[in-house]
Structures are given as structure tokens and as C-alpha cells.
Chain A
Amino acid sequence: MIDSGKQPEIKRVEITVNGKTVQARTDKPLIHACLQAESEVPHYCYHPGLSPVGSCRICQVEVQQGKMPARVMVACRTPVAAGMVVDTESKGAHDSRKECLEFLLKNHPLDCPICDKAGECTLQDYSFAEGQGEGRSVEPRRKLEKRKDLGDVIMLDQERCILCSRCVRFMEEVPETPQLCVAGRGSHSIIETWNNQPLSGNYQGNLADVCPVGALTLKSFRFKARVWNLTKTASSCGECSRGCSTTVEVLRAGEIVRIRPRHDEEVNKWWMCDTGRFALDHFSEVDRLVGACMPSATRGWDQFPVEDGLQVAADMLMAAEKPLIVASPWLTVEEGTELLTLGRQLNGRVAFVSPAQNELADDLLHTGDPAPNRRGLTDLGFEALSPEEILSAASEHSSILCIGERVASLLGEDGFNSLPSATRVLLFDCALPAAQEVGNSPIDLAIGLATSAERAGHWVNIDGIRRPILQARPAPTGVWNTVRLLQNLLGLLATREIQS
């Protein structure tokens, strides 16, 4: 689905939407043209990434065609035809939407105060815009299961469901693993999994995004935050070389509580995998390496500020004959460029760790290559070395500089700890590898770095598409931006060269 090799030819016809002339695609329903013309048409069951079914009936617009009188019809199931004149704001359209909303809300619980969707729920938005303030029905509302566990990722509240079937179609059409169904008929319909099996697969998280209401919610985000308290920053996912475009959502300038896919036609469309969505631990603030540190025989880890750390690093690197510079594939293009300059200045060998393919690859998004900027660094001229190759090459160098997010863990805990003691090891990483004791740790100098949620730059994905990562929240005090760090280091080296 994602790799769009051959594009069929797109035919267009001319239609009028609210007085605007639009070239509408004939392979898309009318609603697509209306939205393209920037006319708001409420919709629940229609999702641009899924096949249209026309089940919610909210997307009513008035269409006039030829000599026929104007009629109200659902925009998501009407094919476009040349010469259509569409009015999305006519009285007829608004009245039909209002009636439709009344039915949708007939059995809807008054849950907004505790609903995780509140604030980004289109049922709320359109009820506010079009609906009436009070319900007229006197019958009790339908009672259904409110905490239905659908596996590790998703929680279903059947009362909130408006039966748009987006979730059913998502499972069938995108990961192509049908697991959900509409069970029962009429007002007894509910969403269920086949045989009440828990959901499986690496794309379940998207269900919470496609559900227009708060029926399918993420367990990990359950009651964590009100969405209007989140600061959203556009970024890219770093869990594989696809580099899905994402939105990183931060609660009160602190914790990252949610990562969601951002629509990007060329990369990930509307989706992302659960591996990327739930990779929040990598951004945690606990156990971070802040400032710089060095092992001291008497005092354990000696802590000092980055400025001093860089002085030590400059001395160490100047003394080295031909240092081995090992980058992490999480470095951005900008950081890679600085690092190459450093490599040239030190006459060193510059490479990046190229981790082995993992078993998460699928034919939708995940490439199975956990190196988000592999392409960017390769294009810059970095050599790709596997962790084993790096470890064996290390003994040939008197100094090794490992730099970038997760670089130590990419080399493997044992691998990193087995770096030869004769080699000087400088580690610039977000955290120290586990259980580093002075005495048996190979590290001679460590400096803390910012994670990919705390700095900005670009990654180039597997298809050569360049996408930004942006700073979603501030780095801990005492942690420098990697580009600034490298530029300062270069400056120090230049000064030293002049002095000697």
C-alpha cells in the first residue's frame, strides 16, 4: 500500500463547491473535492485512507446537477460528475446533519468529562456546531460494556461507539489483518473482535487515531492527560529507517505522553507502527547522562560541566594518532556534517554503526532496519560498519569516539564493555550503558547528549526522503545540543593547533 510504484493516471472533472471551481478527482468521492476546496464537511465514517461506506450519514451536502432540482446527499458516497454544483452550507444540508446527529447522540453516554477523546473528538465538535443543546428522547440510553479490554494496546468503550466501522475497515485494509467486526443488528450492533480474541499486530495503535470518538482509546494514554494540555511538535519517528512523520505530544513541558502519526503522503500516509508509537522510554528523563564525567580511581565518577568535558576531549583527541569515530545512525544530517569535519581535522576514520536487521519488518511501514538516518549518513560519505566490525577495528586505534543517541547500546552491552583497555574510549551518548563501575568500565570520558525529542535536524529515510525532527521539549539542564557540542569541539581543536 505504501510503496506507490505505479501511479494510475488521475482523471479530473470540473465542479463547483460553494462557488469555487475545483478540479475534482474522479477516483475519489465528492467529499474529497469539498475538503480540497476548504469547505468543511462533517464526517465520521469517511477517512481519506480507507474505503468509503456511507454509514454515518453526517456528511450531507446539497448537490445540483443539470436540470435536476438540488438534492441533499452524502458526500462520501457520491461520485463526482462534471458540472456538479455543491452547496455545503445550505439549509437542507444543515437540517439533515442536525437530525443525523440527534440519532448518533441518542445512545451516546454523557462521558465527555472523563473521555480521553474530549477536545479532539469530532462528535463533540459537530454537536457543538450543528446539534441541539438538549436531547428529546425519554427512553433510557443503551447500557453496554464500558471497559472492554481488546489486548495490550486498546481499550473499547462500546457505549461511546457510533458504529462508523472505520476500525473494522482499518484492520481489513491497512495491515490487512481483519480482526474486528460489527456484531449484532440494528440498535444491538456492537464492535467486537472475532471470537473475543485480543487484538494482535504491530498497527493496533492506529485504531485509537481512526476512531472519531472515544470508543477505542490507547491503554497507555488512558486518563494520562487532557489533550488540550499537550504541546504538539512535528517530528519523525526514529525506530526504523522509514522515519514516519509524527507529532510528539508533551504534557506541561515535561513528559512525552503520546506520539502520533502525522499525515505524510510520501512516507507513512496516516499511519505508524506500535513500535514507534510506544517508544517513549527512549525519551525518559531518568538515568540521563548530564554534563560530563570521567572515572577517577579515588572518587568514582567525577562530574563536571560540558565546557570542561570538551577541553578534556580536545586534549584526548589531539593526542590520538588516527582516532576511530563511531557515529550513531540517530545523528542528523547536520550533526553528521559537523562530525565529518571533525574526522577530517583529526585525520580519523569515520563510520556509523549499522545495526543488523530486526524481525519487526513488514510490508506496510516497518523496514526492520533500526537506523533512522542510515541513508542520510551514507549519502554524506560515512562508512557503514556492523557492531562486530567496529569492535574488531577498535584495537587498531589508540582512541575511539562513540557519538550519538543509543550508540553504546547499538554496540551491545558486552561488546561495549569489551572495548580494549589500551584504547581510549570517549562516549557521547544520552545515557551511560547499564552498570558502569569505575575500574571495569572502558569509558575514559563521557558527555551527555540530547535525545531526538530534544534537538532539531533532518533525517533522510530509506527512500531518500528528507524529513525534520524538531525539538519537542527542552533538554535537561547541563546537556548541550549535539551540533553546538561538535562546533565547540572543532573550535577548541583549531585553537590548540594554532598554539602548538
Chain B
Amino acid sequence: MVVVQRRELTFWERMYLPEIVRGLVITFKKMFEPRVTRQYPEQAMPTTAVTRGQPRLTVKDDGNIACVSCGLCEAACPAYAITIDGKETDRFIEREPERFDIDMLRCILCGFCEEACPKEAIFMSNELELANTTREGLVYDMEQLKRSTSTLQPRIDYVRKINDRW
């Protein structure tokens, strides 16, 4: 059994009213200071290139996916969230994914895939929201993951800058 020694209240504290007044003073003071509470989701969080949101796949300007299904992100992923199957193309780049699934429930948003990718094909976008009513609905397939290069451009530039430092 643990005996908790409580501090003895002073006389003024035991009087109760002065403490109430002190509290109300703080409350009134705060009413005139700027508000810090964000009304999410109506007011979304501002993001920057540094924001490491959910991974997304780049679609090049010619409409083809940049990914060549090399499987490096799949291998790098510590949460085993990525599953890729490849197929042959008739373009110069001989291979592209047939299936590219990311189980967003497994994804821990670590960004290893972005770092592993030799093709600038997967980036941590600024998308942060994730909600669904089923588990299956949160396994995103290739169509759900595709984003145009222009959407991802700030992040692409940022990652290039970081890589140049190496």
C-alpha cells in the first residue's frame, strides 16, 4: 500500500474564492490572445515539400508510369506494405508494373521507398488523410497511387536537393 502525502492547503487556498477568481482571470486573458486551435478538417494543415506524407507514384508527362517495377522499394519497405508484379512493355523501357499495391494500413510512412527508388518513381506526397470503412479499401492499387509529376514537383525538387548533398 502506498500512502500519498498530500500538500497541506494554505489558508487562502482553503478560502476557495480567490482561486476561482485567479482562474477566471487567465480565461479572460486568453480570450483576447490569437487562437491556436485548428478547425480540422475544415481547415487543413498547411504542408511543405518537407512534409513526409503518404507514398505516391509518379506518372511522367508522356502518360507512362515512371516505375519500372524493380522491386527495390518493396525490398526496402520495413513494414512489407508494398507488393509489385511486373510486366513487359513495348516501349524502350522494357518493364512496368502490372500490379502495384501499397497496404496503407501497414505503411509506416518512413520514406524508405522514396529513398530506395532508382527511377524517381515513388515520392512521399503531401497527402496525409487516410480513412475508410474497410481494411481492403485501404490497400491502394496502382490507379489510386498515381499522381502527375507536377503535383509531386515540390517534393521531387526537395529530394533531389537532399540527394545532392551526399
> Could you list which residues of chain A lie within 8 angstroms of chain B, going by C-beta atoms?
112-114, 118, 146-147, 222-226, 228-229, 252
Inter-chain CA distance A246–B88, complex, in Å, is 28
1/0 per residue, CB under 8 A from A, across B123-155: the answer is 000000000000000000000000000000000
Assuming the contacts A146-B94, A223-B95, asked whether A113 and B87 have C-beta atoms less than 8 A apart, the reply is no
Say whether B118 faces chain A, with CB atoms less than 8 Å apart. yes
B68 to chain A: which residues have CB within 8 Å? Answer: 113-114
* Known A114-B95, A146-B94, A147-B94: A222·B72 in contact at CB below 8 Å: no
| Alpha-carbon distance A225/B86, docked complex (angstroms) | 7
Over the window 68-103 of chain B, the binary record of Cβ atoms lying under 8 Å from chain A Cβ atoms (1 yes, 0 no) is 111110110000000101111000011100000000
Question: Does B106 sit within 8 A of A, measured CB to CB?
Answer: no
**A226, B74: Cβ atoms under 8 Å?**
yes
**Contact among B71, B88, B95, B119 for A229, CB-based, below 8 A:** B71
User: Can you name the residue of chain B whose Cβ is closest to the Cβ of A224?
Assistant: B86
Contact for A114 among B74, B75, B94, CB less than 8 A: B94
Q: How far apart sit A112 and B88, CA to CA, in the bound complex (Å)?
A: 15
Q: Is the CB of B88 within 8 A of A223?
A: yes
A113 and B119 in contact (CB under 8 A), knowing A224-B86, A226-B70, A226-B71? yes
B: residues with CB less than 8 A from A are: 68-72, 74-75, 83, 85-88, 93-95, 118-119
| Contact call B93/A114, Cβ cutoff below 8 A | yes
Kindly name the residue among B75, B85, B87 whose own CB sees the greatest number of chain A CB atoms within 10 A: B85
CA distance A258 to B164 in the complex (A): 40
Known: A112-B118, A114-B93. 8 other contacts (CB 8 A): A114-B94, A114-B95, A118-B70, A223-B69, A223-B88, A226-B74, A228-B71, A252-B83
Contacts of B75 in A (CB 8 A): 226, 228
What's the nearest-Cβ distance from chain B to residue A252, in Å?
A: 8
Q: Check B71 against A114 for contact (C-beta < 8 Å).
A: no
Q: Which residues of B contact A222 (CB under 8 A)?
A: 88
Question: Closest 6 CB pairs between A and B?
Answer: A113-B70, A226-B71, A223-B86, A114-B95, A114-B68, A223-B95
Find the residue from A114, A224, A225 having the highest chain B CB count within 10 A: A114
Main secondary structure of the interface of A (DSSP, over half): loop
**Is A223 within 8 A of B87, CB to CB?**
yes
- Whether the Cβ atoms of B87 and A114 lie closer than 8 Å is no
Query: Max chain B CB contacts within 10 Å: which of A147, A222, A226, A252?
Result: A226
CA distance A226 to B70 in the complex (A): 7
Are A113 and B118 in contact (CB-based, < 8 A)? yes
| Inter-chain contacts of A223 with B (CB < 8 A) | 69, 86-88, 94-95
Name B83's closest neighbour in chain A (CB-CB).
Answer: A252
Chain B hits for A118, CB < 8 A: 70
Measured between beta carbons, the chain A residues less than 8 angstroms from B71 are 226, 228-229
Minimum CB–CB distance from A115 to chain B (whole Å) comes to 9
A225: chain B residues within 8 A (beta carbon): 85-86
CA distance A119 to B46 in the complex (A): 42
Contacts of B85 in A (CB 8 A): 225
Chain B residues near A226: list those with CB within 8 A.
Answer: 70-71, 74-75
- Can you sample 23 A-B contacts with CB below 8 Å? A112-B118, A113-B68, A113-B118, A113-B119, A114-B68, A114-B70, A114-B93, A114-B94, A114-B95, A118-B70, A146-B94, A223-B69, A223-B86, A223-B87, A223-B88, A223-B95, A224-B86, A226-B71, A226-B74, A226-B75, A229-B71, A229-B74, A252-B83
Contact, CB under 8 Å: B72 / A113: yes
Given the complex of chains A and B, what is the CA–CA distance between A222 and B95 in angstroms? Answer: 10
Q: Which residue of the partner chain A has the closest CB to B98?
A: A223
Q: How far is the CB of B53 from chain A (nearest CB, A)?
A: 25
B59 to chain A, nearest CB (A): 18
Q: In whole angstroms, what is the CA distance A113 to B68 when docked? A: 7
Residue of A nearest to B71 (CB): A226
Q: Which residues in B have their C-beta under 8 angstroms from that of A252?
A: 83
Q: Using CB atoms, name the residue of chain B closest to A252.
A: B83
What separation, in Å, do the CA atoms of A252 and B118 have in the docked complex?
24
Residue on B with the closest CB to A222? B88
Q: Which residues of B contact A229 (CB under 8 A)?
A: 71, 74
**Chain A residues, Cβ within 8 Å of B93:** 114
* A223 to B85 alpha-carbon distance, docked (Å): 8
CB A213 to nearest CB in B, in angstroms, measures: 16
In this complex, which of A113, A146, A224, A228 has the most chain B Cβ atoms within 10 angstroms of its Cβ?
A: A113
CA of A460 to CA of B68, assembled, Å: 45
Nearest CB in chain A to that of B121: its residue: A113
Tell me the smallest distance from the CB of A255 to a CB of chain B, in Å. Answer: 11
In the complex, the chain B residue whose C-beta lies closest to that of A251 is B85
| Chain A positions within 8 Å of B119 at CB level | 113
Q: Which residue of B lies closest to A226 (CB)?
A: B71
Q: How far is the CA of A146 from the CA of B93 in the complex (A)?
A: 10
Q: How far in angstroms is the closest Cβ of chain B from A249?
A: 15
- Give the docked Cα–Cα distance between A72 and B157 (Å): 48
Q: Which residues of A contact B94 (CB under 8 A)?
A: 114, 146-147, 223
Residues of B within 8 Å of A112, CB to CB, are: 70, 118
In the assembled complex, the Cα of A146 lies from the Cα of B86 at a distance in Å of 18
Q: How far is the CB of A140 from chain B (nearest CB, A)?
A: 15
Alpha-carbon gap, A229 to B73, bound state (A):
12
Query: For B118, what are the chain A residues with a Cβ–Cβ distance below 8 Å?
Result: 112-113
Determine the chain A residues whose CB is within 8 A of the CB of B83 once the complex forms: 252
- A156 vs chain B, min Cβ distance (A): 13
* Chain B residue, CB-CB nearest to A118: B70
